[in-house]
Chains A and B, each alone.
Chain A
Amino acid sequence: MSAESLHLWLEQTWNEQQSLRLRLRSCLHESTSPFQRIAVYDSFALGRVLALGGTITLSEADEAIYAEGLVHPALRCHSAPRRVLIIGGGDGSVCREVCRYPDVESITVVEIDQTVTEIVREYFPTLGASLDDPRVDLVIDDAHRFLSTNTDCWDIIIIDADSLHSTANHVVQPVPIGSLLEQRLAQGGILVAPLGLPAFAASTCRDQLRELAQRFATAAVYQFTTPSMIGQQWAVAWCSQERVPELIEPAPACTGELEYWAPDLQASLFALPRHRQRQLGLA
């Protein structure tokens, strides 16, 4: 029996009061890895979606917005981004955006769940292919542990997760993840860390921002929306000791056509409505 006739829906819960339902055409894959439930569905509105632990982390409709939104606002502000670290990112979409920069020499992707990379290679082959770029080093590890046992430094660190907090491993790591990120950032480096969905969890966004603001000379916030997922307006922290989120001229080389980000968008991403400034403790 097809999913259509079953009226299969996938519910995305924002908080205890609000959720969004997505009508599915079919289920392409469902499994449980040692870390989480992994599913790939074909949806009517968003095309193929990847759901981890029941939460959609990638959709054909929006993935370019999310990936471009995390990558270009940082890389275009760095004069020589050579070494890039992606925390999470086993789905390859953020990696694909970084791969557009020919001058980037190494891309380290730290993903905890190997299975995700395998599923993505099968169901989202163009994304999965980015992980095969010769510059990419795919590390299967807990991000917090990786950061605490590694002594390398990176020009750009991108957290590809729903929030900075969700990548922290409080159990075994005495040093807060924010502090490790600060230490692992090279001179002139930039950290990009999603704070979450401020419309639904303003206080957790604010708490994380406050922590970052104590560590970094600049901890600016920008927003972008993945519109097919109604309500998914992301707040992202852009942090650096030396740099500010202004575009560098000449722009680092970047190949291919972007769908979402463009230089003239940069300033507007960082312009926050008054209520958001207040919610995040910026006004």
Chain B
Amino acid sequence: MSINSYPDPALLRATVAEHGVPVLLLSCETIRSQYRSLHEALPGVELHYALKPLPHPDVVAALADEGASFDLATNGEVDVVRAAGIAPERCIHTHPIKRDGDISHALAYGCTTFVVDNPYELDKFLPYRDQAEILVRISFRSSDAVVDLSYKFGIAPDQALDLITKARDMGIKVRGLCFHVGSQSAMSYKHVEAIGFCRQLFNLAALEGIELDTLDIGGGFPVPYTEPVMPIDDFCRPIVAALERDFSGTRILAEPGRFISAPSMTLVSSVMGKSERGGTMWYYLDDGLYGSYSGKLYDHCNYQIIPLKLLEGEEPDERRPSVIAGPTCDSIDVIYEGQMLPELECGDLLVSPMMGAYTWATATEFNFFPKTKIVRVD
């Protein structure tokens, strides 16, 4: 996957002609091919698509057809997979913090594997100990990932054994361990290190007579936004070697979200208005930080934004430093400053590829700008 691949401009124009702007073009073929390449890079690993970056029914249906499994975190996500007719055995529930109603809702659906990372949470499973099984989430901090997912969740490795034995004493079945080293990891050595640590925890549990049989290596598989990333095969090779060394015979899961969904959507927005302020051109788009570009804030992600006419081959005479802002009344709603852009007119279309993960999913409807419509193109 190159960082410069865009959908065919004609398709973009045709979609806009039919559905208006702003619009997100969803490619389920891309979802499928991303799933396949990760599946090939991680042979023998059950891939549970994490719904959170893009909880769209068409994505779920395409992945179900590819044989994927699913990672759920909320009742809403449970409802999406249930509506898609997914067998509950193919799902795990990975939110470390749950209300009683979250547990019972997932159990009523038939999803029986849950994640726990502290003793208070364990107590909530006492009434469900005949049905529910636990993965204990371990915290491995990574300075290297764009989004650190061991800050808020995960038990310190040196406290994990106590939690596991406490569960045993409560009659709650612990199946294994899970971790998430952080989203958009640059390299996989953190995964490898975490796998080694988990082996040692498996060993310590075994010495207590507790045989763990499942390891969930989380997500974190990177995609190129404005910078190239390691090809997925190269990224996964050390992980596969570590799993082969330490965990052959153990059931291995992963929870990829971004890798599968990010490349699947392309945003087309348009210039709502323009202004020249202090010698700088300002362009106000009909989508912004409160909308599909919300990932710029929450996901710390930089997306490319390219005028469609440049993709169509137009050669601009000159480019000027420009500000690209969103449509809301809030001053924070500025997507980029200092972008070198050719002069744009009201109605001109702008294109952002790689807009499938943590974009639409985290958008708000501030100022009554509705969430951008998703249009499936294949």
Contact = CB atoms under 8 A, between A and B. Distances in A.
A56 to B, nearest CB: 14
Contacts of A171: 157-158, 160, 197, 200-201, 204
Contact of A172 (B161, B196, B241, B245): B161
A140 B161 contact: no
A170 B200 contact: yes
B249 A142 contact: no
Interface residues of B, number: 20
Interface in B136-191: 157-158, 160-161
Contact of A140 (B158, B207, B211): B207
Contacts of A145: 204
Contacts of B158: 171-172, 174
Interface residues of A, number: 17
Contact of B248 (A53, A112, A141): A53
Nearest to B198: A171
B157 A37 contact: no
Nearest to A141: B207
Contacts of B87: none
A53 B196 CA distance: 14
Most A Cβ at <10 Å: residue of B206, B211, B241, B246 = B206
A142 B203 contact: yes
Query: Which residue, A53, A142, A145, A172, has most C-beta atoms of chain B within 10 A?
Result: A172
Interface in A162-180: 169-172, 174
A53 to B, nearest CB: 6
Nearest to A170: B197
Q: Which of A16, A32, A140, A171 has the most CB of B within 10 A?
A: A171
Contacts of B203: 34-35, 112, 142, 169
A254 B320 CA distance: 87
Interface of B: 157-158, 160-161, 196-197, 200-204, 206-207, 211, 241, 244-246, 248-249
Interface of A: 16, 32, 34-35, 37, 53-54, 112, 140-142, 145, 169-172, 174
Given A53-B246, A169-B203, A172-B201, 17 more contacts: A16-B241, A54-B244, A54-B245, A54-B248, A112-B207, A141-B207, A142-B200, A142-B203, A145-B204, A170-B157, A170-B196, A170-B200, A171-B160, A171-B200, A171-B204, A172-B200, A174-B158
